[in-house]
Amino acid sequence: MIENEFIPDLKLSSIPVGVVSWSAPSNIALVKYWGKKENQIPENQSISFTLDTCKTITKLYFSKRDTSDENYSFEILLDGENKPDFKPKINTFFNRIEAYLPFLKSYHFKIETSNTFPHSSGIASSASGMSALALCLMSVEKLMNPEMSQEYFNKKASFLARLGSGSASRSIEGDLIVWGKHNAIEGSSDLFGIKYPYEVHDNFKNYNDTILLVDKGEKQVSSTVGHNLMHSHPFAKTRFKQAEENITKLKAILKSGDLEAFIALIESEALTLHAMMMTSMPYFILMKPNTLEIINKIWSFRKETGLHISFTLDAGANVHVLYPENETEEIYNFIKTELVAYCQNGHYICDQIGFGAQKL
Ligand code: DP6
């Protein structure tokens, strides 16, 4: 599939006014996307668990403008409050997607959005936020072109979301999503995320993700800056190759249900992501002392009990604690008694694998 297939070839019928609404989940990468080319094309393939509780809910009101001009016409509200500071990001997004949604300048949009997780939690809302908006825009296109297939709808929603934020391409469906062309994954593409198409062992069903909020502050490095640092990174090539190999390895692990191998792979991915940041120029340490305390506690508890607790990280200090459903009771008790003390104000979020966005 190539980009041009996402340019509507039908004359889209015009609808004067309407409203559409979607809830879209966040996701947590197991093999990390870090490094991109022009037009939000990833340097390496990534795979993620779609989350369930952490999501963005977006309502999009649209009304036909009497006259259209060179500018987009929209307003954006977060939790009912006007957010003019969000406008430049949306403007850039609209510029990137206009070729694929030619009606954008003919409408005024009111975007009402809210997140189920606190804005200042250190959890990025770009994946769920951009995918919710992309889905709303696809619903507008679908009203104009009711014949559109579900498959095309999902692919194009992921394609558009990717142009807003790379990881957002993985927030349309669930429960495991692959983004980036990979020889061992049929149907995979650099342009959009796809549902992982192979057998997954029961060990990974309803997997838990308890997110420990170690630092709720603004990100020290934006992901755009971080991705760009991979351009001149001395280890970039090796890292991209490693990610590709890790996806191949993960495919076998997901089938066999080998939890030990799963843990080794995802923890190594998390630490490699941070190692890339520590070894770029300029360099960054995004973990905090409490991030390391938590990691060490997880390792000792795993050694003592043989339970399958593990962690992953995104580009910040928070820790995602991952564990299988049948070990929930003991591991959750351990988290509450031993790990929550390292969270800022004791805050954490209980989440688990989810099954994708929902039309409201
Ligand atoms: C560390 O998707 O936020 O979370 O494409 O610039 O918006 P942009 O980057 P973004 O990068 C996410 C990076 C990551 C790893 C991952 O989710 O795969």
Give the residue, out of 89, 93, 159, 167, with the most ligand 1 atoms within 8 A of its beta carbon, to mutate for a pocket test.
Answer: 167
Q: 166 CA to middle of ligand 1, Å?
A: 6
Is residue 359 a part of any domain in this protein? no
Distance CA 96, CA 98 (A): 6
Domain that holds residue 94: 2-198
Q: Which atom of ligand 1 is nearest to the CA of 165?
A: 7
**For residue 10, what pLDDT is reported?**
65
Whether 218 shows a pLDDT value over 90: the answer reads: no
Ligand 1, residues at Cβ distance < 6 Å: 29, 32-34, 40, 46, 124, 126, 165-167, 223-224, 227, 273, 314-315
**For residue 177, what pLDDT is reported?**
98
| 86 and 136 share one domain | yes
Distance CA 61, CA 116 (A): 21
Q: 204 CA to middle of ligand 1, Å?
A: 23
Tokens for 139?
């619903």
Q: Which atom of ligand 1 is nearest to the CA of 224?
A: 6
| 140 and 236 share one domain | no
- Give the pLDDT band of residue 125 (cuts 50, 70, 90): confident
Mean pLDDT of 144-151: 93
Give the residue, out of 223, 231, 272, with the most ligand 1 atoms within 8 A of its beta carbon, to mutate for a pocket test.
Answer: 223
| C-alpha distances out from residue 213 to 193, 262, 347, Å | 27, 23, 6
**For residue 14, what pLDDT is reported?**
81
Distance CA 272, CA 180 (A): 19
Q: Check which CATH number belongs to the domain holding 213 and give it.
A: 3.30.70.890
Tokens for 97?
């997607």
Residue type for 169, please? S
| pLDDT, mean over the chain | 95
Taking CA atoms only, the protein residue closest to ligand 1 atom 4 is 314
Cβ neighbours for 276, distance < 8 A, ≥ 6 positions apart: 34, 229, 230, 233, 235, 239
**Do the beta carbons of residue 113 and residue 78 sit within 8 Å?**
yes
Cβ neighbours for 112, distance < 8 A, ≥ 6 positions apart: 58, 59, 60, 61, 77, 80
Tokens for 237?
């090539």
Whether 220 shows a pLDDT value over 90: the answer reads: no
Specify the number of domains making up the chain: 2
**For residue 212, what pLDDT is reported?**
97
**For residue 120, what pLDDT is reported?**
66
- Give the pLDDT band of residue 249 (cuts 50, 70, 90): very high
Is residue 358 a part of any domain in this protein? no
Q: Which atom of ligand 1 is nearest to the CA of 36?
A: 5
Whether 194 shows a pLDDT value over 90: the answer reads: yes
Mean pLDDT of 272-287: 96
How does DSSP assign 165-226, residue by residue? -GGGGGSSB-SEEEES--TTSTT--SSSEEE--S---GGGTT-EEEEE-S--S--SS-HHHH
User: How many other C-beta atoms lie within 10 A of the C-beta of residue 108?
Assistant: 16
Is residue 176 a part of any domain in this protein? yes
**For residue 222, what pLDDT is reported?**
85
> If you count them, how many residues does the chain have?
360
- Give the pLDDT band of residue 275 (cuts 50, 70, 90): very high
Whether 121 shows a pLDDT value over 70: the answer reads: no
| 112 and 261 share one domain | no
| 74 and 223 share one domain | no
Is residue 262 a part of any domain in this protein? yes
**For residue 176, what pLDDT is reported?**
98
Interstrand relation of 17-31 and 46-64 (parallel, antiparallel or unpaired): antiparallel
